[in-house]
Amino acid sequence: MRQVLDESHGMPNRRTVVHWFMVFLLSVSGLLTALTSIYFLFLPSGGYQGGRNPHYGQTFLFDRHIWIDIHTWAGIVMIAVVVFHLVLHWRWVTEMGRRSLAVARGRRRPFNRKIWARVGVVAAVGLLFLGVAASGIYFFVLPGGQGGSRAVQFLFARSTWDLVHTWTGILMIIGAVVHMAMRWKWVARVTPSVTRSLVTRRERLPEGSAL
């Protein structure tokens, strides 16, 4: 188990604090993305009033364009944090990939169930994230990607991209919840110490200073 506390002060080390903030940002952006996705899933924009879509034109809390903005920018934040998270853990990713390949070739003893479960969940979430990110970039970048009449087709039809984005997103959310459950002990153990360190740091600042 990696050391997460500075034993001389009982405070979390810098790497632990950075990791905690990444988990926090991923949780918030992921939650916003999931909630807005549920809105789009149950209140689609297609069809017409009184036709195939009886919910056409309905609003919930905000106008539809605000939900789109929340979904878009929460997704951008999530992609940015995931990339940063991957960079910080690249050594672990490459090492586990090398070990997994060695196990598959019979050159190494098999992992225990806990390690296999963690590797499998991380790999599944990573692949699903690629599908979500690629389809999300398609809707964000290409003209008409958000439903305009002049939608640009790239590799697949827009409806196919929509299906990819929807189902990889749903499965990724499920995988992310499982991954968070597997790491919950770490979150519960580190959160109080990170909170104390932030409060202590703020108390040490001169009056009127900002963090």
Please tell me the predicted confidence (pLDDT) of residue 55. 54
What sign does the CA torsion over 145, 147, 148, 149 have? positive
Write out the CATH class of domain 9-195. mainly alpha
Q: What angle do CA 138, 142, 146 make, to 5 degrees?
A: 75
Please tell me the predicted confidence (pLDDT) of residue 25. 92
Q: What is the mean pLDDT of the chain?
A: 79
Measured CA to CA, the distance from residue 41 to residue 165 in angstroms comes to: 11
Domain-by-domain residue ranges, the chain? 9-195
Please tell me the predicted confidence (pLDDT) of residue 7. 37
Neighbours of 132 (CB within 10 A): 25
Mean pLDDT lowest among 78-82, 99-103, 135-139, 198-202: 198-202
Measured CA to CA, the distance from residue 126 to residue 129 in angstroms comes to: 5
Q: For residue range 3-44, list pLDDT tens digits in order.
A: 444 434 556 788 888 889 999 999 999 899 988 888 887 776
Nearest partner of 99 among 89, 88, 107, judged by Cα? 107
Please tell me the predicted confidence (pLDDT) of residue 204. 61
Q: For residue range 143-196, list pLDDT tens digits in order.
A: 664 444 456 677 888 888 888 998 998 898 899 899 989 889 988 988 888 888
Provide the residue type at 36 as one letter: T
β-pair type (5-6, 11-12):
antiparallel
Between 2 and 36, residue with greater pLDDT: 36
Please tell me the predicted confidence (pLDDT) of residue 64. 79
What element of type H or E holds 6? strand 5-6
Q: For residue range 106-158, list pLDDT tens digits in order.
A: 888 888 888 888 888 989 999 999 999 999 888 888 766 444 445 667 788 88
Q: How many residues does the chain have?
A: 211
Name 60's bridge partners. 62
